[in-house]
């Protein structure tokens, strides 16, 4: 398994959001996280990515195999598209910048400062980062937000190639990606019960 979680409880703002989540992600597999707004998908992804501690449970994965792409994609506005990708390639000791540019049709924008990109173009650049990162496990939070139909298809193709190459992904999304390899995890049933009021004072009844 590339990533495994057992009996995980995750919190946001100090409040338990999900509890008892277990999952296992093998090479070549994708797991799609479902659940209504506020259910805890982002919180679960951030916890799996090691960006925040779990309240309970265990996460097993190899160091340096994960890359997380969330709503803020770490783009440096003053750098061009190509410079952003080269910067990430150097950070991750990775990857083929030209392949990333091709995969998201970024060539016409390659020399433009990222600050001057549209929301969807920025998102394409943020997703291209995953290609240069060359990490096995992608943790993706709403990757298709702002993408048009064509760019969504580019993303689906890149994700399929990643899985075919032995990678894996957990993707929180509200849209249908058309992936045969995907399983679905609905987080709603794992909603945490309200925190116990253990400092409740009966004298006030």
Name the site residues for ligand ATP (rule: CB under 6 A).
12-13, 17, 35, 37-43
Give φ, ψ of 141 to 5 degrees.
Answer: -105, 110
Of 40 and 95, nearer to ligand ATP (C-beta) is: 40
The distance of closest approach from Cβ of residue 142 to ligand ATP in the complex, given in angstroms and rounded to an integer, is 6
What's the CA angle centered on 110, arms 104 and 115, to 5 degrees? 95
CA 52, distance to chain mean position in Å, is 14
Q: Which is nearer to ligand ATP, 41 or 124 (CB)?
A: 41
| SS3 at position 127 | helix
Residues 6+ apart with CB under 8 A from 27: 2, 136, 166, 167, 168
Q: How far is the CB of 7 from ligand ATP (least distance, A)?
A: 18
CA 18, CA 51: separation in Å to the nearest integer? 16
**Nearest residue relative to ligand ATP (C-beta):** 13
Residue 95 CB, nearest approach to ligand ATP (Å)? 28
Closer by beta carbon to ligand ATP, 110 or else 175: 175
Q: Which is nearer to ligand ATP, 103 or 169 (CB)?
A: 169
Rounded to a whole number of angstroms, the minimum distance from the CB of residue 44 to ligand ATP is: 7
* Torsion sign over Cα 81, 129, 133, 38: positive
For residue 148, what are the contacts with CB-CB under 8 A and spacing of at least 6? Answer: 120
**Is the CB of 35 or the CB of 95 nearer to ligand ATP?**
35
Least distance to ligand ATP, CB of residue 39, Å: 4
DSSP state of 191: B
């Amino acid at each position: 398994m590339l990533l495994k979680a057992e009996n995980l409880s995750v919190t946001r703002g100090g409040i338990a959001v999900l509890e008892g989540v277990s999952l296992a992600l093998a090479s070549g597999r994708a797991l799609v996280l479902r659940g209504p707004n506020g259910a805890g998908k982002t919180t679960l992804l951030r916890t799996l990515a090691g960006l925040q501690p779990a309240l309970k449970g265990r996460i097993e994965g190899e160091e340096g195999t994960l890359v997380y792409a969330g709503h803020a994609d770490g783009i440096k506005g003053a750098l061009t598209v190509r410079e952003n990708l080269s910067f990430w390639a150097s950070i991750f000791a990775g990857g083929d910048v030209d392949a990333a540019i091709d995969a998201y049709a970024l060539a016409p924008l390659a020399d433009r400062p990222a600050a001057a990109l549209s929301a969807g173009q920025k998102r394409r650049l943020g997703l291209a980062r995953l290609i240069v990162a060359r990490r096995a496990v992608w943790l993706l939070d709403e990757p298709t937000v702002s993408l048009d139909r064509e760019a969504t298809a580019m993303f689906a193709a890149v994700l399929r190639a990643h899985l075919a190459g032995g990678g894996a992904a957990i993707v929180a999304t509200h849209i249908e990606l058309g992936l045969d390899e995907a399983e679905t995890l609905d987080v709603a049933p794992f909603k945490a019960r309200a925190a116990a009021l253990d400092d409740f004072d009966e004298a006030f009844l």
